[in-house]
């Protein structure tokens, strides 16, 4: 597996996630997504929860995603990912898609993971889907304007206090 340094160097070779999105300049999310996708060989499908990443990368009619991508709602990225992975198992067992392995990667913020999405994540883990779940933890609900999440540090300022 490539090191972080190598992945960063190869940024321009990567076709899973492109620039031109509207995430803030300096936002930590794009390097996370690019690094994760870049480190996975072969075919992959990305699943997003509602949040900064989803909103800022798929403003119709554009998309920053070079891999098949799906977003359904805020609290269900893990369940959607489980459904896509189940479809892969069903279709390959019936010979309806090629043998090529596919990696499923879900991306959700800390709000979509620690709080509203915890139940769906618990169910997906317990069912044992073959998928990677990435929580990009920016320690707050950023998309709605900096409110606390279950991952906010004690005493961290929120929009209501600043």
C-alpha distance across the termini of the chain, in Å: 43
Q: Which of 11, 14, 23, 32 binds ligand SF4 (CB under 6 A)?
A: 23
Under rule CB under 6 A, residue 56 binds ligand SF4: yes
Interface stretch with ligand SF4, choices 21-29, 37-45, 89-97, 127-135 (CB under 6 A)? 21-29
Q: Which one, 87 or 159, has the nearer CB to ligand SF4?
A: 159
Using a 10 angstrom Cβ sphere, with 0-12 exposed, 13-18 middle and 19 or more buried, the burial of residue 50 is buried
**To which H or E segment does residue 102 belong?**
strand 102-109
Under rule CB under 8 A, residue 93 binds another protein: yes
Q: Which residue is nearest to ligand TPP (CB)?
A: 109
- Scan for tokens 């896509």, then name that residue: 84
What are 58's strand-pairing partners? none
- Residues of this chain, 59-98, that bind ligand TPP according to CB under 6 A: 74-75
Q: Which of 2, 6, 28, 66 binds another protein (CB under 8 A)?
A: 66
139: left (phi over 0), alpha (psi -120 to 50) or beta: left
Q: How far apart are CA 37 and CA 93, in angstroms?
A: 26
Under rule CB under 8 A, residue 47 binds another protein: yes
Q: Which of 7, 16, 17, 29 binds ligand SF4 (CB under 6 A)?
A: 29
Q: Which one, 102 or 116, has the nearer CB to ligand SF4?
A: 116
Pick what 38 binds: ligand TPP, ligand SF4, another protein, none; C-beta below 5 to 8 Å, kind-dependent: none
Q: How far apart are CA 75 and CA 156, in angstroms?
A: 24
């Amino acid at each position: 597996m490539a090191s972080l340094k190598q992945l960063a160097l190869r940024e321009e070779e990567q076709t899973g996630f492109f620039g031109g999105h509207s995430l803030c300049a300096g936002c930590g999310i794009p390097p996370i997504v690019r690094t994760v996708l870049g480190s996975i060989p072969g075919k992959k499908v990305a699943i997003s929860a509602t949040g900064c990443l989803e909103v800022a990368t798929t403003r119709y009619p554009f998309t920053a995603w070079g891999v098949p991508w799906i977003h359904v709602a805020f609290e269900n990225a893990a369940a959607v990912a489980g459904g896509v992975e189940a479809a892969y198992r069903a279709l390959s067992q019936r010979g309806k898609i090629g043998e090529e392995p596919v990696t499923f990667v879900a991306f959700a913020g800390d709000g979509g993971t620690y709080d509203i999405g915890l139940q769906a994540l618990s169910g997906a883990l317990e069912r044992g889907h073959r998928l990677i779940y990435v929580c990009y933890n920016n320690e707050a609900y950023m998309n709605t304007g900096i409110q606390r999440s279950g991952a906010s540090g004690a005493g961290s300022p929120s929009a209501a206090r600043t």
